[in-house]
Amino acid sequence: DGLELDARIRRAKAALGKRAVILGHHYQREEVYRHADFHGDSLQLSRAAAEQEAEFIVFCGVHFMAEVADILSRPEQASILPDLNAGCAMADMADMPQVQRAWEELATVIDVEREVTPVTYVNSSAALKAFCGVHGGTVCTSSNARKVLDWSFQQRPKALFFPDQHLGRWTGHQLGIPLRDMPVWDPSQPLGGLTPEEIRRAKILLWKGHCAVHQMFQPAHIERWRHEHPQGQVIAHPEASFEVCQRSDAVGSTDFILRTVKASPPGSEWLVGTEINLVTRLAEEVRAEGKTVEFMSPMVCMCSTMFRIDPEQLARSLESLLAGQVVNRIQVDPETAAQARLALKRMLAVS
Ligand code: 13P
Ligand code: SF4
């Protein structure tokens, strides 16, 4: 049962000591989250992974995060994902052949190597980060997207932003780019479904990708809630739609959301548009200060792949490490890793 699993995790962790470090994303369920040595948003966890000395980095998050940990750590360190099926559906919405084809098609209209910086959201495969590394591009997370796009426009006048159109659109909007200059590139259409003229005038080409979890939040949810809570404040993750971000009082990464709500005065009321495990935990943490935190959607939407990491698998991962078996190791091939590292280092330098 739960108590027994908790004890198994604690025991294995204590026996491993400094040999293993557990990183936990803010979307992890509480029974896993509580065992992490470091919590954070994607950027903080990337930095934490790069700084670890431990032999094993056990990543309670999703596949691309464990890949980043492998890329940024030393070759003799092993990055472990307790469930290999913990992927990110949005990360899978852009793959290498599609991006390569987009690049080639763009080259038929503009001088792509001089005019376009490829920028990938960290929610993407190592191969796409490598593509960005090779083509003078970079990576961003939800907490540094603005700084990264600013940097990208200092390099070249246009950006190809993948896979999340919503983060790209919201960030472009913050930089003052009109919506009409951020057309959506649909990889299933020739030339992304755009005309050469639309491509020439574009500032940001937004990939047609999205996070289904964050599309559950609707402007109507905000309007209804504001009517009932005239003093309340709304905060959302930038993976939510443009209309939701526009109607929110604040928009930012998972860590930004936690910090902002925790720093608000007692009695504050919040409506939060991000994954349910984070929102439920936050609501409990601030309840004692008289703050209320509500989930934005009337439907329970959670990230089912983040949820795949359960206490049973965490216990098993740690116990197998103790027994000398490195299972569920995420290893990026050295050439891809070197190119992806280039893109990630550019990101870390500007954020
Ligand atoms: P953060 O970088 O804000 O933690 O977001 C990661 C993510 O996958 C959000 O869906
Ligand atoms: Fe991917 Fe969405 Fe889950 Fe984040 S919440 S890991 S973007 S599927």
pLDDT, tens only, 112-167: 999 999 999 999 999 999 999 999 999 999 999 999 999 999 999 999 999 999 99
Ligand 2 atom with least separation from CA of 303: 3
Distance between CA 154 and CA 86 in Å, rounded?
Answer: 36
pLDDT at 301: 82
Amino acid sitting at position 330: I
DSSP 207-244: ES---TTGGG--HHHHHHHHHH-TT-EEEE-TTS-HHH
Q: Could you tell me if 115 and 202 lie in one domain? A: yes
Are 95 and 197 in the same domain? yes
Number of domains in the chain: 3
Looking at residue 315, its pLDDT comes to 98
240 and 282 assigned to the same domain: yes
**Which residue's CA lies nearest to atom 3 of ligand 2?**
303
Same-domain check for residues 115 and 161 = yes
Atom of ligand 1 nearest to the CA of 306: 8
Beginning with the edge strand found earlier in the chain, give each strand of the sheet holding 20-25 in spatial order: 38-40, 20-25, 56-60, 78-80
If you measure from the C-alpha of residue 133 to the centroid of ligand 2, how many angstroms do you get, rounded to a whole number? Answer: 23
Does residue 28's CB lie within 6 angstroms of at least one atom of ligand 1?
no
Identity at 214, one-letter amino acid code: H
Ligand found nearest the CA of 86: 2
Residues 300, 216 contacting (CB under 8 angstroms): no
Q: What is the CA radius of gyration of the chain?
A: 21
CA distance linking residue 266 with residue 121, whole number of Å: 35
Comparing CA positions, the residue from 58, 71, 67, 70 lying closest to residue 88 is 67
**Residues 52 and 81 placed together within one structural domain of the fold:** yes
Using a 6 Å cutoff on CB, does residue 344 contact ligand 2? no
For residues 284 and 325, membership in a common domain is answered with no
Query: Quick one: 35 and 144 in the same domain?
Result: no
Q: Does residue 344 lie in a domain region? A: no
In a domain, 350, yes or no: no
The angle that helices 63-72 and 334-350 make with each other, rounded to 10 degrees, is 90
Q: Which of 189, 210, 231 is the last residue of a domain?
A: 210
Q: Does residue 114 sit in the same domain as residue 159?
A: yes
Give the nearest ligand 2 atom to 164 CA. Answer: 7
Rounded distance between C-alpha atoms, residue 116 and residue 202, angstroms = 10
Q: For residue 23, give the ligand nearest its CA.
A: 1
Please indicate, yes or no, whether residues 125 and 202 belong to a single structural domain of this protein: yes
Q: Is residue 158 part of a domain?
A: yes
Q: What are phi and psi of 49, to 5 degrees?
A: -60, -40
Ligand 2 nearest atom to the CA of residue 305, by list position: 3
Q: Give 206-235 pLDDT, tens digit per residue.
A: 999 999 999 999 999 999 999 999 999 999
State the DSSP string of 44-113.
Answer: HHHHHHHH---SEEEEES-HHHHHHHHHHS-TTSEEE-S-TT---TTGGGS-HHHHHHHHHHHTTTS-HH
* Phi, psi (rounded to 5 degrees) for 159: -130, 145
Q: Which residue puts its alpha carbon closest to atom 2 of ligand 1?
A: 42
Encoded tokens for 312: 């049973």
Residue 145 lies in a domain: yes
Residue 342 lies in a domain: no
> For residue 37, with 0-12 CB atoms within 10 Å meaning exposed, 13-18 middle and 19 or more buried, which class applies?
middle
Residue 15 Cα to ligand 1 midpoint, Å, equals 31
Looking at the whole model, is its pTM more than 0.95?
A: yes
Please give the distance, rounded to the nearest whole angstrom, from the Cα atom of residue 60 to the centre of ligand 1. Answer: 13
Same domain, 58 and 158: no
Q: Tell me which residue range forms the domain holding 95.
A: 91-210
| pLDDT-flagged residues of the chain (< 50) | none
CATH of the domain at 97: 3.40.50.10800
Q: How far apart are CA 81 and CA 58, in angstroms?
A: 6
14 and 58 share a domain?
yes
Which of 25, 67, 121, 239 for a ligand 2 pocket mutation test, highest count of atoms within 8 Å of Cβ?
Answer: 239
In a domain, 301, yes or no: no
Stated as kind and residue range, the H or E segment containing 62 is none
Tell me the torsion sign for CA atoms 168, 161, 147, 156.
Answer: negative
In this prediction, the answer to ipTM > 0.95 reads yes
Task: Classify each residue of 64-73 as buried b or exposed e, where b means 16 or more C-beta atoms within 10 Å of its C-beta.
Answer: bbbbbbbbbb
Q: Give the closest residue (by CA) to ligand 2 atom 1.
A: 88
- On whether residue 340 sits in a domain, the answer given is no
Cβ of 41 below 6 Å from ligand 2:
no
Q: Answer yes or no: do 95 and 76 share one domain.
A: no
Q: Pick the last residue of a domain from 210, 225, 244.
A: 210
Distance of alpha carbon 248 from the chain centroid: 20
What single-letter amino acid sits at 64? F
Q: Is residue 337 part of a domain?
A: no
